[in-house]
């Protein structure tokens, strides 16, 4: 399967922590000063570190980020935690033009360190849009398999590919995780440049960003004598093996 190297930007989240004070309305939450809905929730299985509220003329968004407090037992437990967090925030108030969020996104990470260092490294995600009858759940299968310690065929193939890639990159004098960070920086800087040139986004914005990314990756591939498939494989492996 050929991975999509834009994954890191499709799920980019703002990781911000809030100074908190107690809330009599929600005894299990810590409400940040100056807000009515941003909260921190902690139980035996996970910690919610941020509930970010955004609003436009057409939608009210709630983006929740959390990390696991203990080792994952199975996929069912992961799904249940995502749904529980969703239920905790789906009816939050405090919007100017909406009674509750029209879009809720929940991102769950394995550790607090992963949450802080790489917003794309979630192990499970839940999205509920205004036209959805029920939430959509998505799991990072590589991370789930690694977290559960399953030594099946998929993981064995993954480990084989990792060994091949490390050997190749060692001959090119570049570490896999360092290379992945360079790829991410090229993509992010290209998108930011396109944002400035086309602040209203649209097709012109996307095409310009794609052009800049292609130029940056072409130079990178030439420098380290790599193919597009090599770069794609690095991006896929980095999701699991680069912390």
Distances (CA, A) of 1 to 112, 218, 233, 236: 29, 22, 9, 10
**What is residue 15's predicted lDDT score, i.e. its pLDDT?**
32
Cα 182 to Cα 110: distance, rounded to the nearest angstrom: 23
**Domains of the chain and any CATH numbers:** 7-145 (3.30.300), 151-241 (no CATH)
What is the Cβ-side half-sphere exposure of residue 124, based on CA atoms within 13 angstroms?
28
**Residues 159, 124, 228, 212: is their CA dihedral positive or negative?**
negative
Output the six-digit token pair for 133: 């009858």
Output the six-digit token pair for 233: 């494989």
**What is residue 150's predicted lDDT score, i.e. its pLDDT?**
55
Cα 164 to Cα 23: distance, rounded to the nearest angstrom: 53
**Predicted TM-score (pTM) above 0.85:** no
Output the six-digit token pair for 49: 């570190």
pLDDT in tens, the chain (243 residues): 334 433 433 343 333 322 333 332 333 333 333 233 344 677 788 999 988 898 888 888 999 999 998 888 888 888 899 999 999 999 998 898 899 999 999 999 988 888 888 888 889 989 888 888 888 888 887 788 777 765 444 444 667 788 889 899 999 999 999 999 999 999 999 999 999 999 888 889 999 999 999 999 999 999 999 999 999 888 888 877 776
């Amino acid at each position: 399967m050929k991975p999509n190297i834009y994954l890191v930007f499709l799920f980019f989240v703002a990781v911000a922590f809030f100074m908190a004070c107690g809330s009599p309305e929600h005894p299990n939450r810590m409400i940040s000063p100056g807000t009515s809905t941003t909260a921190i929730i902690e139980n035996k299985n996970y910690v919610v570190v941020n509930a970010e509220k955004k609003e436009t003329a057409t939608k009210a968004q709630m983006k929740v980020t959390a990390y696991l407090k203990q080792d994952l037992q199975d996929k069912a437990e992961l799904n249940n935690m995502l749904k529980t967090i969703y239920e905790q925030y789906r009816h939050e108030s405090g919007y100017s033009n909406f009674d509750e969020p029209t879009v809720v996104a929940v991102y769950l990470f394995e550790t607090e360190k992963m949450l802080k260092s790489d917003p794309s490294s979630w192990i499970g995600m839940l999205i509920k849009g205004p036209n959805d009858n029920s939430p959509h759940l998505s799991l990072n299968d590589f991370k789930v398999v690694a977290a559960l310690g399953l030594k099946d065929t998929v993981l064995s193939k993954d480990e084989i590919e990792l060994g091949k890639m490390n050997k190749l990159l060692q001959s090119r004098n570049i570490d896999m995780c360092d290379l992945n960070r360079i790829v991410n920086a090229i993509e992010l800087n290209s998108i930011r440049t396109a944002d400035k040139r086309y602040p209203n986004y649209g097709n012109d914005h996307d095409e310009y960003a794609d052009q800049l990314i292609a130029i940056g990756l072409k130079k990178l591939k030439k420098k380290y004598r790599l193919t597009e498939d090599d770069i794609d494989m690095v991006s896929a492996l980095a999701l699991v093996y680069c912390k």
